[in-house]
Amino acid sequence: MSPLIEIRNARKKFMGTPVLDGITLSIEAGERIAMLGPNGAGKTTLVRSMLGFYHLDEGEIRVMGKDPIRDRVEVLRHIGFIPQLPPPVKLSLDELLMYIERSTGTPKGAVIAQAERMALDVKQHASKPFFKLSGGMKQKLLIAIALARRSRLFVFDEPTASLDPKARELFYRLLSDLDYDYSAIYITHRLEELEGLINRKIYMELGKVVEDEPIAT
Ligand SMILES: Nc1ncnc2c1ncn2[C@@H]1O[C@H](COP(=O)(O)OP(=O)(O)O)[C@@H](O)[C@H]1O
Ligand SMILES: [Mg+2]
């Protein structure tokens, strides 16, 4: 079987500066990865390239055997992605959840139930535009959407950065409670929070993978 994600010699420059400097990685189904490294290391650029947001200058990425740019819809169908910065969505929460239900088949009620477990009352804010929520509330809703979709692969880009300690705890509890086999990539600066949730650790620096090792679970 082909790996979940295959990256071969990925290179990308932004304004002349290498941001991905020849990355080769293979990720198998069932792997749950902490991706670490200083700001500017290229972590966000790497995961966004896996999701078809960016063209590489050189090299190749395959996600479930597919090209994330050419087969973007198919690739994104299986991935629950939480971006580092919430998108500026103008839809109200109600409209957003309707849209998600129509486009992904994830029932609105399932998202509302997950949000409740993140201590976010969607119904109370149903007519509010998404972009007017606080940073933490946006993050909670994005988490609820991703988890409600029961994706095969989660990609979380610093998911707890804007969450208070209580919400962080709830988030990790929801992850531990997931009752199926999923794969995950967590970009984080807080490795200690991921204890028990990961089985591999990848450290990036200046666009390169400088450390890659398994973690006993
Ligand atoms: N869309 C972009 N346009 C120009 N430069 C970018 C863009 N995205 C990222 N960069 C630059 O690429 C480098 C790596 O960024 P990023 O992938 O966000 O790193 P990390 O997520 O590890 O902090 C940084 O120097 C950043 O300024
Ligand atoms: Mg980043």
Distance 17 CA to ligand 1 centre (A): 10
Q: What is the pLDDT of residues 114-139, one digit of tens each?
A: 999 999 999 999 999 999 999 999 99
User: Which listed ligand is nearest to 158 at the C-alpha?
Assistant: 2
**Closest alpha carbon to 12 in 23, 1, 2:** 23
- Cβ–ligand 1 distance for 45 under 6 Å, the answer yes
Which residue has the least CA distance to atom 12 on ligand 1? Answer: 19
Q: Which residues lie closer than 8 Å to 39 by C-beta, 6 or more apart?
A: none
Residue 1 has pLDDT above 80, yes or no: no
Report the atom number in ligand 1 closest to the C-alpha of 84: 21
**What integer pLDDT is reported at residue 82 of this predicted model?**
93
Amino acid identity for residue 186 in this structure: Y
pLDDT band at 49 (very low <50, low <70, confident <90, very high): very high
- Cβ–ligand 1 distance for 42 under 6 Å, the answer yes
Question: Domains of the chain (ranges plus CATH)?
Answer: 1-78+189-217 (3.40.50.300)
User: Which listed ligand is nearest to 19 at the C-alpha?
Assistant: 1
